[in-house]
Every structure is written in structure tokens, then in C-alpha cells.
Amino acid sequence: MIKMCRSLSKLWDPQFLWVADSNTHWGKMMDTELALTYRLVQDYLQFVLQTSTSGSEPSKTSQVLRSLASSVQEKVEENMKGYLDSLPVASLEAARTVFNQVMAGEFEDGVINWGRIVTIFAFSGVLIKKLPPGQVARSMDIEHISFFVAEFIMSTAGDWMKQNGGWENGFLKKFETKSCWLTFLEVTGHLFEMFSLLKQYY
């Protein structure tokens, strides 16, 4: 049985990242693009929970993602508070189930763009805040969620991302210089549509 005995941040390699999960007994070699995506998700979730302990300055990509995704997440939480309060996310497995169900519906039309990718970050932020305090306090839980979110992003949109410049030459160039309201309008509407998919299940 594979044991995760060290944090993923200590297993970083310029080319690969080894990830082992003690619950499902699997390990994977992640290429740099998946590892970067994992770190961006992890950074965003730590930002949402205000639990970052690295002490280092976040990358420009992380800063833009934080600003954009948190603005969208905040707007959704304000407008859908009553509904989100009843969302059954009492465990990591429940969070993953809800995530998978919503993502399957969101991307079933095959359309991929940076705005939709940002909504994944915003949705993961909503989910991790819904977990009981005892769950989110553990860094291993953040790592677990970060991995399955990053894995979904790369398996669904990885090829598209590479064809469209990746995080630095694609996402950052698209969103870094745009005015906040244009960026917000581009992704907020679709996130509301994404949350409406939850009504099919709960």
C-alpha cells in the first residue's frame, strides 16, 4: 500500500511530481503542466482558507487567479447563499462527488475556454469552504482536493491549454491587462449556469 507520508510540496521535481494517495492506493507521475496546475489550485484554496504558510510571494499567475476566481466566488456566495447553505458537503468524498457531477454537466458541450477553467477554481473554493472546520484545517485535505481538481482540469482541458499558450502565455496574457469588469463578466455568467446544474442532484 502506498502511503502519503510527506507533503506534495516536498516532492517537487522540475520535470515530475510523484503523488501517492493512501486512501485509494494509487500513485501518479505528473508532468510539469499538471504539477503547475496542482500548485495553482493549492495556492487558491490556501488563499480562500487563509492558511498559506510558504511565506513566499505568489506568482503573477497565482495573483491573477486569486483576484479573478475569488471575485466570482464571492458574487456567487452572495447571490446563492440560501441554496449553498443546504448543499450536502460534509466530507471530502461528498465534495468530490458534487464536483464530479457538476463538472460533467458543465463540460458536456465540449466547449473549453479560460473563463470556464477559472470557474473550476471558484467552484473548488466554494466546496472547500463548505467542508466542516475539522476537515479544512488539515493541509492533507487541501492537497487531496487540489489534486483531483488539477487532474480534472488537465484531463479535460490539458490539450486545449497547451494549444492556447498554457498558464503564462495564454491565461496570464488574456486576463492580466483586462479591466476587472470585463474579466468578471466573462466568467460570472457561466458560473451561475454551473451552479444551476446542482439542482439535478440536490
Q: What is the pLDDT of residues 43-84, one digit of tens each?
A: 999 999 988 666 678 999 999 999 989 988 888 788 777 777
| 152 domain residue, yes or no | yes
| 47 domain residue, yes or no | yes
- Residues 126-150: what's their mean pLDDT? 82
Asked if residue 121 has pLDDT above 70, the reply is yes
Asked if residue 37 has pLDDT above 60, the reply is yes
Rounded Cα distance between 157 and 153, Å, is 5
Q: What is the pLDDT of residues 6-22, one digit of tens each?
A: 334 433 333 334 444 43
Residues 6+ apart with CB under 8 A from 51: 136, 137, 139, 142
| 74 domain residue, yes or no | yes
Q: Domain containing 159: what range?
A: 26-51+58-199
If one counts the domains in the chain, the total is: 1
Cα Rg of the chain (Å, integer) = 16
| 18 domain residue, yes or no | no
Residue 24 — pLDDT band, cuts 50, 70, 90?
very low
User: What's 156's domain CATH number?
Assistant: 1.10.437.10
Instruction: Name the nearest CA neighbour of 43 among 24, 21, 67.
Output: 67
| 20 domain residue, yes or no | no
